[in-house]
Amino acid sequence: MFLINCPFCGEREQSEFKAGGEAHIVRPKQPTELSDDEWAEYLFMRKNIKGIQFERWNHVHGCRKWFNMVRDTSNDQIKAVYKMGEKPPVK
Amino acid sequence: MSNNLRFKTSKFIDETYRVSFKFNNKTYFGFKGDTLASALLANGVHLVGRSFKYHRPRGIMTSGSEEPNAIIQLHDNSSRTEPNVRATEVEIYEGLVASSQNCWPSVNFDIGGINNLLSPILPAGFYYKTFMWPASFWEKYEYFIRKSAGLGKSPKVADPDIYEHKYVHCDVLVIGAGISGIMAAKMAAKNGFKTLLVDEKSYLGGSSIYDNSEFSKINNQITSSWLEKEINEISKIENLEIKTRTSVAAFHGYNFLLARENLTDHLPINQRENKVRQRLLKIRAKKVITATGSIERPLIFDNNDRPGILLSSAIKKYIDLYGVACGENNILFTNNDTAYETAISLIQRGIKINAIIDNREQIDSKILYEVEKNNIKIYKGYTVVDTYGYRRINKISIMKLSKDGQTVIGDKTKLNCDCLGVSGGWTPAVHLFTQSGGKLKFREEDQVFIPDVYPSDQISIGSCNGDFGLEEIIKNTLSSIKKFLDIDNSEYKTVETISGLNQSKRNIWLLPSDKSIGKTKSFVDYQNDATAKDIKLALREGFRSIEHVKRYTTTGMGTDQGKLGNMHALGIISETAGTKMGEHGTTTFRPPYTPLTFGTIVGRNVGEFFDIFRRTPIHDWHVANNAEFENVGQWKRAWYYPKDNENMHQAVQRESKAARDSAGILDASTLGKIDIQGTDASEFLNRVYTNAWSKLAVGKCRYGLMLNEDGMVYDDGVTTRLGENHYIMTTTTGGAANVLGKLEDYLQTEWPELDVYLSSVTDHYATISVCGPNSKKIVSKVIPDLDLSDEKFPHMSFKNAKIDNIKCRVMRISFTGEHSYEINIQANFGKSVWEKCMEAGKDFNITPYGTETMHLLRAEKGFIIVGQDTDATLTPIDLQMDWIVSKKKYDFIGKRSLYRSDTIREDRKQLVGLLTENPEEVLEEGAQIVADIKKSPIEMLGHVTSSYYSPNLKKSIALGVVKGGKNMLGQKLIIPMENKNINVTVADPVFLDKEGERLNAKL
Ligand SMILES: [Zn+2]
């Protein structure tokens, strides 16, 4: 079970958190301008990488804040956590 | 039975404390300190069970948690019964009752033993190949297979014991209290680390604590003496906590571990009252030191499973620790030096060793010379080819190994024995290391997998790290712990060791035989009866991956997870397939390391704590007034209130009639309530609901529908504008937490620029809904100061009011189609206001109604229930709710998806009303809807989502979803049931008062 360093609260057990899928997928500002295929790309397509992945997490049983995490999915190493709107600290 | 089996020399056995216990209905005696296994062996009992598949007689094989055979049931037919317990781990106590598993009618005569004779036709994969066809016969086969398989019996009554969970935090966790674990714990604790040392045994010191031989010494002291002083010293260190009888079950990522602490299992039953039996420790350690030791390997040869065949190290432990001889005429069979340690222990007690069979030709070791000096015949370069004796071994035959070890040569010699100790070398116990995500590497020299890459801040030391010699263990433990903890002072000045053992080994995974492989039964997995022949068959049939071979042959799939034989299985696979061991990897070891009881897993979460429920502030009134309850999410909601022995149908008919004829009252406190504030609150609602919110005046309410981004209906409810920048949103009872989560998600991640704040206030208010033609009169009595005129307080509006000086919010909204009011008041006043309403409504036959009547009333009006009439595949268009989808708004969650090619299909399932041909016939919810029953296969058009008998309309009504249903108004369809077909007509989903006359009637 992970020990997650919430950017607002500090280290907490994984059981306090909820994973929210891939990060940095921006909701289109003008959905009506998009074709079915473009909208489907936003709506359904996710990378599901083996290796370094950028993901969203929510401290749902804590401060309720969403934040981003860089995680190596091949070994579950958390490389970094950072607030929403911030640039990832690692590549 | 012989009296010569107990040697009263062990300091671990209290001979003044005699303990009686029962095994298979017979009474035996042992001593305090015995395990069930040692006590049985002291009584000459080897045969303790039957094997799983062939029902072959099996005996105690080991002395620890790796035991595959001596699996027993404790206290059968009692509330404390427990199956699949290893006799080698059970500490005996007065009154213990144990019995064999997997044998019927008795261990000595077993009907399933016929399988042993049938074994030529019971090869690997037999069950797959035979019983899977025809599929419909599986049920019949299964009955017989389960009956004869028998892996213990589960208890039939509630467990009387108490269990608990505990979080533990430490700087350093040391797993295993053998030599290296004790040294590591001492070094950590003395250097200021908060340290926890755990061991699964009841004593500390591991196998060295009974190592009294002159052949291994530390600082010129006998190993056990040196170790005793160390144990004495560490027990006084303040920041070191020691837990025995504590088995680490799981090692997860980020150094999170689960361990089971056994607190009362060694006590007589009458001393266990009101004590916690087992505690699950949830350990978060900054650093983990794994010192779990190693497990001796058996040897794989024909008939290597007879009672009386034990691991050589187990024979040594039974003598040295428990003072019990496993046999009176012993033979040892080995490929390495450790069996000679057992020989020395036997010689010291004067127990006969008939011979030692050693695979090796040339051996230069001090301990071997010492054994030879005692005139014990050592057959060098020999192997055992067969064993004899049904319920106990009585003979073996041996032959010389060829130079390459692939065949046997020369003549067969038979030797008598009543006990055979086998040693195939040692396998590091890397189970926990691999559970944590660690990567192993294969060491060719001695054919072992050892830790290579650590996934977290941890280290393995001692023999679980592949260090087998005493000198190596101590030297490497000192240096690696110093480095791991980054300390200078090791606490140990100089540690000098002497060992008389040679580390050479002649490893042959499957020993050759004079018979063809097809004629042998060389067991690799004792518990699951998988043989070397089965593994070879699997390879012949095309299986290559170790994981596939494992599943096909069931090797390593027992409760012991193949702790003894997995390595041999890998070895035989790589030899047969001509591949390298290292390339195969091992199979995955999964938690728990040894089985856990359900009690330990659930801890205190039993009974009413198993799944906690939420009560409304008015709950006690419902209980006092005979309500039946329904679970909605975690809430207990009043379902209906039966009067005078009414059944549910009768109660619901009465309640719903009263609500429409005069007045009904409902506890709606469970609806989710979210308080929304901020200058952008209106804009926020515009984006999350399908309809427009900007123009909603302060003091007005509006129904809203919320979609997922894929266009499917997610939740609904009424939201009220309390002020310019202040709304209160209601959600469905079950959806409250998810809706709040979803709204927070959009707010924080997509629209952080919006000035909006959300708070859940579900528990802060009690919500009382009063409906019906007399609701106005009732509410005016409860809140006389409130002007309820249609002009001042029209439908879909809200007013602040006071009841006895307590502020409340009153909404005029309706989920029944009747004139109705919803009073929201601070939760702790909920019950008193409810009682006030009941009092005020006395003259109007005010009738409390539950969720069932609520569902009926709203169905009459064709109002949907999200989650009952919808299932995340329906858009608002599918629900014929086009009216609530704003055409003007540029965007809202889910809008773009409403005109994807899939969502605009005409033949999607759409919500319709259904009327039965016979108005008395009530449909079953979930029933399929079809048009043509002659077509094969019948095309399923949809299903019934809600169905009731309406006392107000005096007929059956139903809602359902039907493919292309929107255009089928008036069309006849069929509901095929088990023994009849019901004719229905597609109708408008609004059955009652489509014009809203009741809602707007002048009262
Ligand atoms: Zn937080």
Per-residue pLDDT tens for B195-235? 999 999 999 999 999 998 888 899 999 999 999 999 999 99
Phi and psi, residue B451, nearest 5°: -60, 140
pLDDT at position B579 is: 87
Average pLDDT over residues B140-153: 58
Tell me the CATH number at B374. Answer: 3.50.50.60
How sure is the predictor about B550, in pLDDT bands with cuts at 50, 70 and 90? confident
**10 Å Cβ neighbour count for B904?**
11
pLDDT, averaged across chain B: 93
pLDDT at position B135 is: 54
Tell me the CATH number at B89. Answer: 3.10.20.440
Cα–Cα distances in angstroms (integers) from residue B692 to residues B687, B762, B886, in the given order: 9, 25, 6
| Same domain flag for B415 and B439 | no
Q: Is position B578 within any domain? A: no
How sure is the predictor about B129, in pLDDT bands with cuts at 50, 70 and 90? low
Most confident stretch, B111-125, B575-589, B755-769: B755-769
Average pLDDT over residues B633-661: 97
Q: Is position B944 within any domain? A: yes
Per-residue pLDDT tens for B289-306? 999 999 999 999 999 999
> Is there a contact between A36 and B741 if contact means CB atoms under 8 Å apart?
no
Beta bridge pairs of residue B257: B251, B283
Amino acid identity of B714?
Y
| Residue in B256, B745, B900 closest to A39 by CB | B900
Q: Is position B847 within any domain? A: no
Per-residue pLDDT tens for B781-806? 999 999 999 999 999 999 999 999 99
How sure is the predictor about B114, in pLDDT bands with cuts at 50, 70 and 90? low
Residue B766 has pLDDT above 70, yes or no: yes
More confident residue, B546 or A27: A27
Q: Which residue, of B90, B117, B150, is where some domain finishes? A: B150
Per-residue pLDDT tens for B559-584? 888 899 999 999 999 999 888 888 87
Enclosing H/E stretch for B195 = strand B195-198
Establish how many alpha carbons lie within 13 A of residue B650's alpha carbon, considering only the half-sphere containing its beta carbon. Answer: 6
Establish how many alpha carbons lie within 13 A of residue A23's alpha carbon, considering only the half-sphere containing its beta carbon. Answer: 24
Contacts A3 to B, Cβ<8 Å: 254, 256, 284
Q: Is position B983 within any domain? A: yes
Q: How many angstroms separate the CA atoms of B432 and B569, rounded?
A: 20
Enclosing H/E stretch for B213 = none
pLDDT at position B1 is: 41
Contacts B744 to A, Cβ<8 Å: 58, 64, 66
Distance from CA of B482 to the nearest CA of A (A): 26
| Same domain flag for B186 and B133 | no
Phi and psi, residue B432, nearest 5°: -65, -40
| Residue in B709, B741, B744 closest to A43 by CB | B709
How sure is the predictor about B621, in pLDDT bands with cuts at 50, 70 and 90? very high
Distance from CA of A4 to the nearest CA of B (A): 10
Average pLDDT over residues B536-544: 90
| Same domain flag for B14 and B134 | yes
Q: Is position B309 within any domain? A: no
Strands, E assignment, B501-602: 523-525, 530-531
pLDDT at position B115 is: 67
Q: How many angstroms separate the CA atoms of B207 and B156, rounded?
A: 39
> Is there a contact between A76 and B437 if contact means CB atoms under 8 Å apart?
yes
pLDDT at position B494 is: 81
Phi-psi region of B556 (alpha: psi -120 to 50; beta: other; left: phi over 0): left
| Same domain flag for B459 and B388 | no
Cα–Cα distances in angstroms (integers) from residue B654 to residues B377, B434, B627, in the given order: 95, 64, 14
Amino acid identity of B681?
A
3-state secondary structure of B672: strand
Supply B922's token pair. Answer: 């009530």
Residue A74 Cα to ligand 1 midpoint, Å, equals: 25
Interface of A with B (CB under 8 A): 1-3, 13, 18, 20, 26-27, 30-32, 34, 36, 39-40, 43, 56, 58, 60, 64-66, 75-77, 84-85
Most confident stretch, A16-30, B48-62, B488-502, B552-566: A16-30
Q: Which residue's structure tokens are 């609520």?
A: B854
Average pLDDT over residues B330-352: 96
> Is there a contact between A3 and B284 if contact means CB atoms under 8 Å apart?
yes
> Is there a contact between A31 and B891 if contact means CB atoms under 8 Å apart?
yes
| Same domain flag for B440 and B379 | no
Q: Is position B445 within any domain? A: yes
> Is there a contact between A2 and B890 if contact means CB atoms under 8 Å apart?
no
| Rounded-to-10 torsion of CA B614, B618, B623, B625 | -160
Cα–Cα distances in angstroms (integers) from residue B731 to residues B283, B639, B850, B877, in the given order: 39, 19, 18, 21
Chain A and chain B share a number of CB contacts under 8 A equal to 55
Q: How many angstroms separate the CA atoms of B895 and B216, rounded?
A: 79
Residue A63 Cα to ligand 1 midpoint, Å, equals: 4
| Same domain flag for B343 and B458 | no
How sure is the predictor about B123, in pLDDT bands with cuts at 50, 70 and 90? low
| Same domain flag for B407 and B451 | no
| Same domain flag for B192 and B208 | yes
Please give the share of chain B, as a percent, with pLDDT higher than 90.
Answer: 83
Contacts A26 to B, Cβ<8 Å: 750
Number of domains within chain B: 4
| Same domain flag for B370 and B404 | yes
Per-residue pLDDT tens for B846-862? 999 999 999 999 999 99
Q: Which domains does chain A have, with CATH numbers?
A: 3-83 (3.30.2270.10)
Residue B133 has pLDDT above 60, yes or no: no
DSSP H helices in B460-597: 470-485, 532-540, 546-553, 566-577, 581-584
Please give the share of chain B, as a percent, with pLDDT higher than 70.
Answer: 95
Residue B557 Cα to ligand 1 midpoint, Å, equals: 41
How sure is the predictor about B126, in pLDDT bands with cuts at 50, 70 and 90? low
Residue B671 Cα to ligand 1 midpoint, Å, equals: 27
Q: Which domain holds residue B433?
A: 162-294+428-499
Per-residue pLDDT tens for B818-840? 999 999 999 999 999 999 999 99
Q: Is position B609 within any domain? A: no
Residue B119 has pLDDT above 70, yes or no: no
Q: Which residue, of B405, B422, B439, is where some domain finishes? A: B422
Per-residue pLDDT tens for A26-81? 999 999 999 999 999 999 999 999 999 999 999 999 999 999 999 999 989 999 99
Contact between B929 and B884 (Cβ < 8 Å)? no
More confident residue, B760 or B152: B760
Tell me the CATH number at B941. Answer: 3.30.1360.120
Q: Is position B967 within any domain? A: yes
Supply B269's token pair. Answer: 């039953």
| Same domain flag for B403 and B438 | no
| Same domain flag for B19 and B142 | yes
pLDDT at position B117 is: 65
Among chain B residues, the shortest Cα distance to A63 is held by B744
How sure is the predictor about B2, in pLDDT bands with cuts at 50, 70 and 90? very low
| Same domain flag for B146 and B166 | no
Residue B17 has pLDDT above 80, yes or no: yes
- Cβ within 8 Å of residue B453, ≥6 positions away: B438, B439
Residue B901 has pLDDT above 60, yes or no: yes
How sure is the predictor about B491, in pLDDT bands with cuts at 50, 70 and 90? confident
Q: Which residue, of B403, B422, B441, is where some domain finishes? A: B422
Per-residue pLDDT tens for B855-888? 999 999 999 999 999 999 999 999 999 999 999 9
